[in-house]
């Protein structure tokens, strides 16, 4: 009997232990969370209007650490000078009033979806134009309370922020757009914002912008002082580089083509008035329309942009080609295109004088040899008498005749191949316009590309 009673006693004890373990395994920790929340946030136990104490329970300012995750940047508008961004915004601080027992590490944190249950920093975005929260399907916000009293607040928001731009180098420019966060009512004596250590700003890897590239971002502090005190402020500077390939295809290459097309009139016959006029007017109107379309997509700033210099010079070249035809047409209809009789008479007189000088030199040389009646030759003395004016004149004529001829001017020789001055204007324009435009391109690109590197 003693052995049987001992066996049943052991069996009963084992049953109690297994039941106890089963009861522990079936504990609902969600119920435990409710009890903990009621315990720390119950009526009369926690006041959300009172800020938490400083570090280590001191009376210093509450420290809030901030980090953000940039999910997308939808647009950067040059006209309104603003950009839209969607981000996950996180704040973390310590509130010792919210400490609780984690039940031997089984309660890692408590989760809230109502931000008004605990004290919240009064942060606002100082350069915000408009913004909204995301409530699909549920409000995209949560608050986590950790056993040591640390509070993590996370929310997804979309913002449209102001971004003042300097467009002097447009479209070869870089723009810095800021995201500023500051305290609205608490001064630095009560609340201080700090960037989270390590990696305060994260950006989604596949971030894609249609006309910009996010080169880098910098975090900094921007505390502001007003009549009511000094307020803590954080900022993120986003450096955007404008993609130039779009503007090269849409603006620069078409403008170059219009300028080159305007030069075709230099190769048309000067009598083809309808063709040359229609070509010049068409290219001028197209260039003007292109310029107005470019300016319509930009704000009316008071300074000159790089694109203004380009379009202005291209418009000037097209207009100059049209004026060139007007000059050619005037030269062909006026006396400028008729043979210059005075110049021809002057050339004939020069030729006649040259022939007279050649004949005089030949006479002077023949006088040195004299023949007598017996056909015997006698040499006259070559010594020049000082008082012999005839000898002086003959010698001077010989010296004039012996001077080397002047070297012909290649440009004048080449232009003399074209009979009329209107034709010469066209020929000179064929060379001058492309050379000047090439020189302008060299100066333009070297200037603005070097300025871009200096700004960088």
Residue 187 has pLDDT above 90, yes or no: yes
Residue 74: pLDDT band by 50, 70, 90 thresholds? confident
Closest by CA position to 111, among listed 165, 41, 64, 168: 41
Residue 436: pLDDT band by 50, 70, 90 thresholds? very high
pLDDT value of position 93: 94
Q: How far apart are CA 397 and CA 97, in angstroms?
A: 123
Residue 202 has pLDDT above 70, yes or no: yes
77 or 392, which is more confident? 77
Residue 393 has pLDDT above 70, yes or no: no
For residues 422 and 337, the answer to whether their CB atoms sit within 8 Å is yes
Q: How far apart are CA 135 and CA 438, in angstroms?
A: 58
pLDDT one-digit tens code per residue, 83-109 = 999 999 999 999 998 988 887 778 888
Residue 383 has pLDDT above 50, yes or no: no
Residue 308 has pLDDT above 90, yes or no: yes
pTM: 0.71
pLDDT value of position 104: 79
pLDDT value of position 4: 55
Contacts of 217 (CB under 8 A, 6+ apart): 201, 203, 236, 237, 238, 239
Q: How far apart are CA 121 and CA 401, in angstroms?
A: 105
Residue 140 has pLDDT above 80, yes or no: yes
pLDDT value of position 332: 79
- Total length of the chain: 456
312 or 272, which is more confident? 312
State whether the Cα torsion 418-423-426-432 is positive or negative: positive
Residue 238 has pLDDT above 60, yes or no: yes
> Is the backbone peptide bond immediately before 400 cis, with ω within 30 degrees of 0?
no
Residue 69 has pLDDT above 80, yes or no: yes
Region 340-347: mean pLDDT is 51
In this structure, of 26-35, 301-310, 313-322, 327-336, the range with the lowest mean pLDDT score is 26-35
Q: How far apart are CA 96 and CA 104, in angstroms?
A: 19
Residue 156 has pLDDT above 70, yes or no: yes
Mean pLDDT value across the chain: 81
**Measured between alpha carbons, how far is residue 48 from residues 40, 44, 109, 151 in Å?**
12, 11, 19, 13
Phi, psi of 313 (to 5 degrees): -70, -40
pLDDT value of position 241: 93
Residue 5 has pLDDT above 60, yes or no: no
- Bridge partners (DSSP) listed for residue 87: 70, 157
pLDDT value of position 376: 47
Percentage of the chain beyond pLDDT 70 is 75
Residue 349 has pLDDT above 80, yes or no: no
Helix axes 341-367, 389-402, angle to 10 degrees: 120
pLDDT value of position 19: 47
Phi, psi of 349 (to 5 degrees): -65, -40
For residues 302 and 358, the answer to whether their CB atoms sit within 8 Å is no
Contacts of 30 (CB under 8 A, 6+ apart): none
């Amino acid at each position: 009997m003693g052995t049987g009673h001992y066996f049943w006693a052991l069996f009963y004890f084992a049953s109690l232990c297994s039941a106890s373990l089963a009861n522990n395994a079936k504990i609902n920790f969600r119920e435990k969370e409710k009890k903990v929340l009621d315990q720390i946030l119950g009526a009369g136990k926690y006041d959300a209007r009172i800020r938490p104490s400083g570090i280590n329970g001191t009376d210093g300012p509450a420290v809030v650490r901030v980090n953000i995750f940039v999910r997308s940047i939808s647009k950067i508008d040059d006209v309104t000078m603003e950009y839209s961004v969607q981000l996950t915004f996180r704040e973390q601080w310590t509130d010792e009033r919210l400490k609780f027992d984690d039940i031997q590490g089984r309660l890692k944190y408590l989760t809230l979806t109502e931000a008004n249950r605990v004290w919240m920093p009064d942060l606002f975005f100082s350069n915000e134009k408009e913004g909204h929260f995301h409530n699909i399907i549920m409000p995209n916000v949560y608050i986590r309370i950790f056993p040591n009293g640390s509070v993590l607040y996370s929310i997804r928001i979309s913002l449209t922020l102001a971004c003042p731009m300097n467009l002097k180098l447009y479209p070869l420019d870089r723009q810095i757009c800021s995201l500023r966060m500051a305290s609205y009512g608490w001064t630095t004596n009560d609340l201080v914002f700090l960037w989270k250590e390590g990696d305060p700003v994260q950006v989604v890897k596949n971030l894609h912008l249609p006309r910009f590239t996010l080169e880098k971002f910098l975090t900094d502090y921007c505390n502001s002082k007003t009549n009511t005190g000094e307020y803590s402020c954080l900022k993120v500077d986003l450096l955007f580089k404008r993609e130039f390939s779009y503007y090269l295809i849409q603006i620069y290459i078409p403008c170059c083509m219009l300028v080159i097309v305007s030069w075709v009139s230099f190769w048309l016959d000067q009598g083809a008035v309808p063709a040359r006029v229609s070509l010049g007017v068409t290219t001028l109107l197209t260039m003007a329309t292109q310029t107005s379309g470019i300016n319509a997509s930009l704000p009316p700033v008071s300074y000159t942009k790089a694109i203004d210099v380009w379009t202005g010079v291209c418009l000037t070249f097209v207009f100059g080609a049209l004026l060139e035809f007007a000059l050619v047409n005037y030269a062909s209809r006026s006396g400028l295109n008729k043979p210059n009789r005075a110049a021809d008479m002057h050339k004939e007189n020069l030729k006649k004088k040259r022939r007279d000088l050649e004949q005089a030199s030949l006479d002077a040389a023949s006088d040195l040899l004299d023949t007598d009646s017996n056909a015997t030759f006698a040499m006259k003395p070559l010594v020049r008498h000082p008082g012999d004016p005839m000898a002086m004149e003959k010698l001077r004529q010989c010296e004039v005749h012996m001077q080397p001829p002047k070297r012909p001017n290649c440009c004048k020789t080449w232009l003399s191949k074209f009979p009329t001055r209107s034709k010469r204007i066209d020929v000179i324009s064929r060379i001058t316009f492309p050379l000047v435009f090439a020189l302008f391109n060299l100066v333009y690109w070297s200037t603005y590309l070097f300025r871009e590197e200096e700004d960088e």
